[in-house]
Amino acid sequence: MGTISDKASELWDWAESVGTAMKDKMPTFSIPKEISTAIVKAVNIEKKEDVKKGKCFCNRDFTPEEFERIIHGLRDSETSVKKGSEYALFDASNCKLKTEEKTIDKLRDQINSIFNKFTINTCIRKLHFLAQIYHETDRLRTTLEYATNKDYKPYFGRGLMQLTWKSNYEVYKAYNGVDCVKDYDLISNNLTYGSDSAGWYWKQGKVLNVGKRWKGPTDAPAYVKVHKPDYPKTTISYKKGDKTVKYGTVDLGLIADDDKVDLISYLVNGGSNGLNERRNYVFTLKNIFKYPQECINGQKKKPAPSGSPTDTVTIRLVRKWETHKSTISEFTIDNTEIKGYFLEEKGPDTTVSGNEQRIPIGTYNLEWHAGTKIKKGLKLYNDVVSKSRAILIHSGNTADDTEGCLIAGSTKTTDFVGGSKVKLKEIFDYVEEIGIKNAKIIITQSYE
């Protein structure tokens, strides 16, 4: 977790209302003797709605069986992690949690508790939170950062969200009342504090400049700017000794509602560390949660102009095998039994044309392409890979045939896909049947 500075040029267009903050009631908190009760000037960012419950995970706790399935599913998604740790939790040598706390049941208790406390109450909020802590804790293997020689020593990353830097420990102390500034190991060695600090950070712990809205800094990386963030801030003030401290913050749940994993990752990590992995965990968790298909709140989103989700084409590609010559992926198409393989250029990812390397993971729009060399193909494009690049889905067999594009196949061996023309026709026939409008391909990775 890192810190980010906002620029002053924000729109001041939201009215403020005054509230208080106490430890056991969001958004209130209790405090130690030397720190007075915080006064929170909070934007009214949540509307009370009728609580919807269904077969999904909205507005209820995880059962033991469900949570075990979630943890196992995440571990199963990464062969090397599964091989090293199986399903054991917090088994890293530097993790000093008590043995009785290193269980799926104990973690489930804490997760259910903080989800209720910090309004992480819908499927989409829950799966985004879990994706972040899964990466922050090295796949739930430790509650303490591995690095031991950093500028912020001894305030290393601790807890499920890796609370880092003395200033952040001080702000959490002001919220919770526990003296984690003096006894910083409380966050890494006690699962309750390690979990509570993560929920607090998610809800109101990201320290930003005071203001009305978070739109990202002017020098934000492209993967942030492309989303054009615009979220309301809450202003929190508290007294530390004789000094009043104020900061602005953003409830990451609001960003999760918009399904923006890149923005959440930026606010949690302060950079792009593990960005691809965090995207993959969200993808994996959506499959485990069966989101949005079975989510009772998943249909709050505005429907696509073409109609229901089944009226649009979504191809899901997961990169699994790579050599010095090529990358091979498995793919499926939503709401169909169509599946197969794609062969692409070798890595690493690039947005620069002419490098004979694969395009970055992400979500791409699709449109039909007609040309002289490739008479018919599906063209991929988004905000970082332009249409002019002419990245196509077409037929072929080897890396020599790709020219930066994606080759469909029914079978695969090393650096080769077979049955390309048959598989390509199957894809094209389906796209023609459903229609190209709002069609997309989502590229993720989970290498074996």
pLDDT for 51: 62
Per-chain mean pLDDT for the chain: 86
Dihedral pair phi/psi, residue 213, rounded to 5°: -145, 150
- pLDDT reading at 147 higher than 60: yes
Tell me the β-bridge partners of 22: 25
CA–CA dist 80, 56 (Å, integer): 30
Q: How confident is the model at residue 1 (pLDDT cuts 50, 70, 90)?
A: low
58: closest CA among 298, 309, 302, 300? 298
pLDDT for 299: 56
Amino acid at position 104, single letter: I
What is the per-residue pLDDT across 79-107, written as a single tens digit (0 to 9) for each? Answer: 899 999 999 999 999 999 999 999 999 99
pLDDT for 53: 67
CA–CA dist 114, 46 (Å, integer): 18
243-249 and 234-240 strand pairing: antiparallel
Mean pLDDT, residues 126-143: 98
Please give the DSSP secondary-structure letter assigned to residue 202. I
What is the per-residue pLDDT across 309-349, written as a single tens digit (0 to 9) for each? Answer: 447 899 999 999 999 999 999 999 998 889 999 999 999 98
CB atoms within 10 A of CB 268: 25
What is the per-residue pLDDT across 338-371, written as a single tens digit (0 to 9) for each? Answer: 999 999 999 998 888 878 889 999 999 999 998 8
* 296-312 core/surface letters (b: 16 or more CB in 10 A; e: else): bbbeeeeeeeeeebeeb
Rounded to two decimals, the pTM is 0.63
Domain 64-289, CATH 3.40.50.300 — does that match? no
H or E element at residue 318: strand 314-322
Report the percentage of the chain scoring pLDDT > 90: 70
Higher pLDDT among residues 355 and 203, named by residue: 203
Hey, where are the domains in the chain? 64-289, 314-445
Q: Of 12-21, 193-202, 393-402, 403-412, give the lowest mean pLDDT range.
A: 12-21
Compute the CA torsion angle 27, 32, 34, 35 (nearest 10 deg).
0
Beta-carbon contacts of residue 21 (< 8 Å; ≥ 6 apart): 27, 28, 29, 37, 38, 39, 40, 175, 236, 238
CA–CA dist 15, 87 (Å, integer): 48
pLDDT for 428: 93
pLDDT for 239: 80
What is the per-residue pLDDT across 237-286, written as a single tens digit (0 to 9) for each? Answer: 988 889 999 999 999 999 999 999 999 999 999 888 899 899 999 999 99
